[in-house]
Structure 1
Amino acid sequence: MINNIRHSFDQYRILKYVVKWFILTIPVAVVSGSLVALFLFLLEKATHLRWEHEWLIYLLPVAGILIVALYRFKGKNAEAGNNLVMDEIHKPGGGIPVRMAPFVLITTVVTHLFGGSAGREGTAIQIGGSMAHWLGKIFKLNQADFRILLISGMAAGFGGVFGTPVAGTIFALEVMAIGRIKYDALLPAFFASVMSHIVCTAYGITHTHYQIDFHETVASGSSFLHFDLSLLFWVMLAGVFFGLASFGFSELSHQIKHFVNKYIQRKILIPVVGAALVLGISFLLGTRDYLGLGVYSADGEGVSIVNSFKAGGADTFSWFWKLLLTAITLSTGFKGGEVTPLFFIGATLGNTIAMITGNPVPLFAAIGFIAVFAGATNTPLACTIMGVELFGGEHILYFAVATFVAYYFSGHSGIYSSQRIDVSKGDIDSSIERGSTLKSARKSKENRQ
Structure 2
Amino acid sequence: MTLSRGARALAQWLLLGGGVGVVCGVASAVFLYLLEEATHFRESHERLVYALPLAGLVLGAVYGRWGGPVRGGNNLVLDAVHEGDAQVPLRMAPMVLAGTVLTHLFGGSAGREGTAVQMGGSLADVLARRLGVGPDARREMLAAGIAGGFGSVFGTPIAGTIFGLEVVVVGRLGYESLVPALVAAVVGDLVTRGLGIHHTVYPVPAALPLTPWVLAKWLVFAVAVAVVAVVFVELTHWLKKVSEKHVPWMPVRMALGGAAVVALWKLLGTSAYLGLGVPEILRAFVDPALPVSAFAWKLVFTALTLGVGFLGGEVTPLFFIGAALGNVLARLLGLPIDLGAAVGLAALFAAAANTPLALSIMAVELLGASVLPHVVIVSTVAYLLTGHRGIYPAQRIARLKHGGPLLQRVVPLRELPGEDTAPPGPPRGPGEH
**Shorter-chain TM-score range:** over 0.9
Greater mean alpha carbon deviation, residues 189-198 or residues 433-442: 433-442
Displacement after TM superposition at 1:437 (Å): 1.1
**CA separation of 1:15/1:255 partners in 2, compared to 1, >3 Å: closer, same or farther?**
same
1:285 aligns with 2:260: no
Displacement after TM superposition at 1:74 (Å): 1.1
Alpha-carbon distance in 2 for matches of 1:263, 1:106:
27
Displacement after TM superposition at 1:55 (Å): 0.5
Alpha-carbon distance in 1 for matches of 2:64, 2:419:
29
**2:252 — aligned with what?**
269
**2:164 — aligned with what?**
172
**CA separation of 1:198/1:268 partners in 2, compared to 1, >3 Å: closer, same or farther?**
same
**Cα distance per residue 1:358-401 (max 9 Å; x no partner):** 21000010000000000011011111111111111123110110
Please say if residues 31 and 97 of structure 2, whose CA atoms lie closer than 8 Å, have aligned partners that are also in contact: yes
Count, aligned residues? 421
Alpha-carbon distance in 1 for matches of 2:221, 2:327:
11
Please say if residues 311 and 355 of structure 1, whose CA atoms lie closer than 8 Å, have aligned partners that are also in contact: no
SS at match of 2:49: helix
**2:178 — aligned with what?**
186
- Aligned residue runs from structure 1 range 131-142, under 5 A: 131-142=123-134
Alpha-carbon distance in 1 for matches of 2:204, 2:289:
14
- Aligned residue runs from structure 1 range 11-410, under 5 A: 11-216=3-208, 227-296=210-279, 304-312=280-288, 314-410=290-386
1:437 aligns with 2:412: yes
Structure 2: state its 5+ residue gaps. 421-433
**Length-normalised TM-score, structure 2:** 0.94
**Cα distance per residue 1:129-161 (max 9 Å; x no partner):** 000001001110000001000100110000000
SS at match of 1:181: coil
**Cα distance per residue 1:185-240 (max 9 Å; x no partner):** 00110000000000000011011111234233x5xxxxxxxx32222211121011
**CA separation of 1:65/1:360 partners in 2, compared to 1, >3 Å: closer, same or farther?**
same
Q: What is the one-letter code of the residue matched to 2:31?
A: F
**CA separation of 1:423/1:57 partners in 2, compared to 1, >3 Å: closer, same or farther?**
same
Alpha-carbon distance in 2 for matches of 1:22, 1:243:
39
Please say if residues 370 and 386 of structure 1, whose CA atoms lie closer than 8 Å, have aligned partners that are also in contact: yes
Please say if residues 86 and 419 of structure 1, whose CA atoms lie closer than 8 Å, have aligned partners that are also in contact: yes
Displacement after TM superposition at 1:75 (Å): 1.7
Alpha-carbon distance in 2 for matches of 1:28, 1:188:
9
Alpha-carbon distance in 2 for matches of 1:294, 1:411:
28
Please say if residues 330 and 340 of structure 2, whose CA atoms lie closer than 8 Å, have aligned partners that are also in contact: yes
Greater mean alpha carbon deviation, residues 175-184 or residues 105-114: 175-184
Displacement after TM superposition at 1:267 (Å): 3.2
Please say if residues 25 and 191 of structure 2, whose CA atoms lie closer than 8 Å, have aligned partners that are also in contact: yes
SS at match of 1:417: coil
SS at match of 1:335: coil
Alpha-carbon distance in 1 for matches of 2:213, 2:135:
51
**2:431 — aligned with what?**
none
Displacement after TM superposition at 1:444 (Å): 9.8
Aligned-residue CA RMSD (Å): 1.8
**Cα distance per residue 1:18-42 (max 9 Å; x no partner):** 0111011222111110010010000
Displacement after TM superposition at 1:12 (Å): 1.0
Alpha-carbon distance in 1 for matches of 2:290, 2:359:
23
Which structure: larger Rg?
1
Displacement after TM superposition at 1:122 (Å): 0.2
SS at match of 1:159: helix
Displacement after TM superposition at 1:313 (Å): 5.6
Structure 1: state its 5+ residue gaps. 1-8, 219-226, 297-303
Q: What is the one-letter code of the residue matched to 2:77?
A: V
Q: Percent identity?
A: 43
Q: What is the one-letter code of the residue matched to 1:17?
A: A
Displacement after TM superposition at 1:443 (Å): 8.7
**1:301 — aligned with what?**
none
**Length-normalised TM-score, structure 1:** 0.91
**Cα distance per residue 1:310-338 (max 9 Å; x no partner):** 13362101111111110110011100001
SS at match of 1:151: helix
Displacement after TM superposition at 1:94 (Å): 2.3
Alpha-carbon distance in 1 for matches of 2:219, 2:361:
18
Alpha-carbon distance in 1 for matches of 2:418, 2:171:
21
User: Deviating runs (4+, > 3 A) in structure 1?
Assistant: 430-434, 442-445
